[in-house]
A and B are shown apart, each in its own frame.
Chain A
Amino acid sequence: MPAFDQVIAEFAQFLGRSQLALQATNVRVVFSSPVIDTPIFAIPDVHLCGGDAGDIFLNGTPEKALALAGTLRAIYDYQEMHPQSSRAVQLGDWFDIWRVCGEDPMSMAYGAIDNAAAFADILDYDARIGLAHVIGNHDAGFLNAVPNRRAAQASFFRLGFWLGHNVYALHGHQTSIAPPANQSFDQVVVHLATLLGGFIPGVTKIQEFIDKQQIVDEVKLWLHDVFTGSHEDTGPHLRPRDRSNLPAHLKTGDFVVREDLDALASLVHQIEQLPGSQGRAADLLLVGHSHVPCASWSDVAGRPLVVVDAGAWVYGQANIAIAAGDTVAVFDIV
């Protein structure tokens, strides 16, 4: 199990090949003992648009594409240096189909993103890594069609992934949409997790699958909204500092109370119960969606779960979350 500092030092060397560097943020959580046996590199919301003036990723600065390509190259190089010994994930909203295709996140006509010359190197490294992508609310069209270059790897695009036995990755938008009236969040979360466990891609579309579920209409509408609706991201939040006593397995961390924290923890707990999870139980949940990095923890599911929001690559941001050994932290790429 490589130590966190060792992973950071090596990764920083690879970043240096592209004249990039890691700069610490205040999001850093240290567990009381090593819990992350395989290093993890997590790229948060990128929002690739058409490479034009309205592109919130490029933000009018072509250097941004160089920075992301250089970061992906560093992940590729690290994983070449240490074969089969680390994992890479992108936490959703890789493409901003919602913005490019007339506010239809389920559209498949996102060639303007796939073909943008500014993104050629980024998409090259995406394919060379075989980067796994969580599907977010701005790229829900991946549930209909994944990018052409990744068509042989459609299973690398999912609504959630395990990264080892105790780390889970989710975009985070599933819990930012209010459940229907008279339905507790726990109730709808069971529907959500059960539905996700039974959906077979390629056999039917998610919309049709939801329609066939034996659940009340309000919950169907909610599920439709979760998976196929147009949602702007939740934006910055006033996150109160969490001054509660840390559980025994956490050593240090600058914790806040993230919005939807307990709902996210409940959802992960439900996913743990699915047979396909094979007994895995999360100590760490990596999410994006809000664009604002932070660390939180919740024991609402009976077991402390650290939730790290990895930030984003929109406008002036360029974040990456790295986890290894006893530590998970969010960095700025500069």
Chain B
Amino acid sequence: MHGLALLAGVGGCSPPRPGQLNGRWVAVAGPEGAAAGIAAPPTAARPLAVNAPPPACFDSATLDGEFGARCKENEPEAAGSAAVTDEIQPGNQPTPGEVRWYCDRRTVVRIVLDRCGTANQFRVRQIAVSIDGNR
């Protein structure tokens, strides 16, 4: 079956990049399922395989290195509250997961991360990619 492979890396725009997915972070989806990870070499018009998961746990800088510039702005995820009667819970309350948005001229990538325990490292939970046409 035909798989859909989306190049998740958001690179520079000049000069145009050659078409290469092998070894890069990708999100693939199709009738055979979906996965995110490191792409295997494309072979004989068969659906692209993911031959390794993303690194188990990595820091924010690693992610920025793979995906480039974060969006200067993005649609809102959640609003704060005007409530005034709640209590701050004691102790550290690290974010259980986080989101990153990466943008270039034609591509928007939203990545949902799970924190690895209480460390300052994360693992990928979901990659969503949108690529505009000739805008």
- Residue positions of A touching B, CB distance < 8 A: 38, 76, 79-80, 83-89, 108-112, 114-115, 120, 124, 127-130, 132-133, 135, 142-146, 148-164, 169-170, 193, 195-197, 199, 201-202, 205-206, 227, 271, 274-278
Contacts and interface: CB of A to CB of B under 8 A. Distances in A.
Interface string B44-81: 00000000000000001100000001111110111111
A193 B84 contact: yes
Given A108-B73, A109-B73, A130-B92, A158 B80 contact: yes
A201 B60 CA distance: 29
B88 interface: yes
A152 B85 CA distance: 20
Given A153-B93, A159-B81, 8 more contacts: A120-B60, A142-B80, A149-B98, A152-B78, A154-B79, A159-B84, A201-B79, A277-B85
B82 A86 contact: no
B86 interface: yes
Interface of B: 60-61, 69-74, 76-101, 118, 120
A196 B77 contact: no
A155 B86 contact: yes
A197 B88 contact: no
A170 B118 CA distance: 29
A195 B84 CA distance: 10
B83 A108 contact: no
Contacts of B90: 38, 79, 84-87
Contacts of B88: 87-89, 132, 161-163, 169
Contacts of B84: 158-161, 170, 193, 196-197, 271, 274, 276
A108 B94 CA distance: 23
B85 A271 contact: yes
Given A108-B76, A114-B70, A143-B80, A148 B87 contact: no
Contacts of A164: 87
Nearest to A267: B84
B68 to A, nearest CB: 12
Contacts of A163: 87-88
Contacts of A161: 84, 86-88
A273 B61 CA distance: 47
Contacts of A84: 90-91
